[in-house]
Amino acid sequence: MADIKKRLVFSILQFLQQSTKDGTIKEEDTEGVEVAVQCIGEAFGVNIEDLDQKALYATKAPLLSIFEVAVKTQERITKASTTPKPSTTTTKTELSEEQRKKAEELKVAGNLKVAEKDYRAAVKLYGEAIAINENNAVYYANRAAAYSQLGEHDKSIEDAMKSSQLDPSYSKAYSRLGHAYFSVGKYREAADAYEKGLSLDPNNSTMKTALATAQQKANELSNQGSSRSSSTPGGGAGLGGFPGLSGLGGAGGGGLDFASMMNNPALMDMARQMMQSGAFNNIMNNPNVAEMAQNMMREGQTPNINELMNNPEIMNMARQFVNNQNGEDNAEAPSDDAQQNK
């Protein structure tokens, strides 16, 4: 350690001596520096004129050069410690050419399985491609189409959304998403997805047709909801929610007006249809309804229409009849473009 200190002092004294010679120090200050060199040398036992000490303590690089290196190193360390490091969570793994080729081969194999209508095998192959390259939007969109063909629309929605996140400019992702939403009855969401897809691919006739169908179904659903919410038994929307049977309330709002019912064409038409379809026989064969009618006949009572129409079993059968006449909603999702991309 003593030698290190003497080497440092030796270098300092050399630097001061050189500064008096090269003009770094003003001439009027030279004498003071020379006295300082002599005092420091004596304090540390160092003499820059001694040839033996020069051989022991002199460094090949001047003190100034050594100090410059030390300062630059310190600056680099300080800068590195204050510069924010890039987040490792968003860094994508760089794939080798061999990995990319393998993933593409799996995708092509999946496309062939779709053409053969072997959708389960296609899902498996697309999944293997994704396992290699999880950042390819096409792989997710293709698997979404295969899931839809299998009726697994929730999984299709998940894959289509992932595809759109990876590549927001990929119109096929929104086509797949619209088809999946439509298939689960989410017509408004389907329309939104198709609109986004058409903003990227305005000339896609398939999506134009699908958008129109989704908008129509969304409007129909909205109108049905409004109609149901405004319906009250015996009120303006019709008796017990049956359209066309309005205005049958009795005086003061209590009970039903039998004469009005008999003169209502909608009610009489429904009654005729029920008689022709056998629905009336089903009602009268119900043991509870039959017992009610028998009691009325034994007691010589006039049928209480209000009591009959408020009987839950009769009303349920009537509703079933009306639903069967109107038909169930059997709308199918617009056909998605089955051709796999790229």
Q: Residue 147 maps to which CATH number?
A: 1.25.40.10
Residue 271 maps to a domain? yes
Residue 125 maps to a domain? yes
pLDDT, tens digit, 9 for 90 and up, residues 259-286: 555 555 655 666 666 666 555 566 556 6
Task: Say whether both 122 and 44 belong to one domain.
Answer: no
CA atoms of 337 and 335, how far apart (whole Å): 7
What angle separates helix 312-326 from helix 287-298, to the nearest 10 degrees?
130
Residue indicated by tokens 């894959």: 159
Task: Say whether both 123 and 194 belong to one domain.
Answer: yes
pLDDT winner (highest mean) among 169-178, 216-225, 302-311: 169-178
Task: Say whether both 249 and 160 belong to one domain.
Answer: no
* pLDDT on residue 148: 95
Question: Among 167, 202, 227, where does a domain finish?
Answer: 227
Task: Say whether both 217 and 127 belong to one domain.
Answer: yes
Task: Say whether both 217 and 319 belong to one domain.
Answer: no
Residue indicated by tokens 């209480």: 304
Number of independent structural domains in the chain: 3
Task: Say whether both 21 and 120 belong to one domain.
Answer: no
CA torsion through residues 299, 312, 220, 141, sign: negative
Q: Helix (H, G, I), strand (E, B), or coil: what is residue 249?
A: strand
CA atoms of 249 and 239, how far apart (whole Å): 9
* pLDDT on residue 245: 46
Least confident of 67-71, 163-167, 272-276: 272-276
Task: Say whether both 104 and 193 belong to one domain.
Answer: yes
Residue 278 maps to a domain? yes
* pLDDT on residue 308: 56
Task: Say whether both 252 and 297 belong to one domain.
Answer: yes
Given a contact cutoff of 8 angstroms between Cβ atoms, the answer to whether 190 and 197 are in contact is: no
Instruction: Say if residue 179's pLDDT is above 70.
Output: yes
> Which range marks the domain in which residue 245 is found?
239-324
pTM of the model: 0.46
Task: Say whether both 206 and 313 belong to one domain.
Answer: no
271 vs 65, 287, 321, CA distance in Å?
Answer: 110, 20, 10
CA atoms of 172 and 164, how far apart (whole Å): 9
Question: Among 68, 86, 115, where does a domain finish?
Answer: 68
Instruction: Say if residue 235's pLDDT is above 70.
Output: no
Non-local (6+) Cβ contacts of 202 within 8 A are none
Question: Among 227, 250, 285, where does a domain finish?
Answer: 227
Percent of the chain clearing pLDDT 90 (strictly above): 37
CA atoms of 148 and 115, how far apart (whole Å): 14
Residue 87 maps to a domain? no
Instruction: Say if residue 198's pLDDT is above 80.
Output: yes
- The CATH number of whichever domain residue 50 belongs to comes to 1.20.5.420
Given a contact cutoff of 8 angstroms between Cβ atoms, the answer to whether 139 and 155 are in contact is: no
Q: What is the mean pLDDT of residues 147-171?
A: 96
Q: Helix (H, G, I), strand (E, B), or coil: what is residue 256?
A: strand
* pLDDT on residue 323: 54
- DSSP H helix total and E strand total for the chain: 17, 0
Task: Say whether both 223 and 106 belong to one domain.
Answer: yes
What is the pLDDT confidence band of residue 51, given thresholds at 50, 70 and 90? Answer: confident
Residue 83 maps to a domain? no
Q: Helix (H, G, I), strand (E, B), or coil: what is residue 238?
A: strand
Q: Read out DSSP for 261-282?
A: HHH-HHHHHHHHHHHHHTHHHH
Residue 340 maps to a domain? no
Residue 77 maps to a domain? no
Task: Say whether both 130 and 46 belong to one domain.
Answer: no
Six-digit token pair at 228?
């149901």
Q: What is the CA radius of gyration of the chain?
A: 46
Residue 95: name the closest of 83, 103, 87, 85 by CA.
Answer: 103
Residue 149 maps to a domain? yes
Task: Say whether both 106 and 180 belong to one domain.
Answer: yes
pLDDT, tens digit, 9 for 90 and up, residues 324-337: 554 444 344 555 55
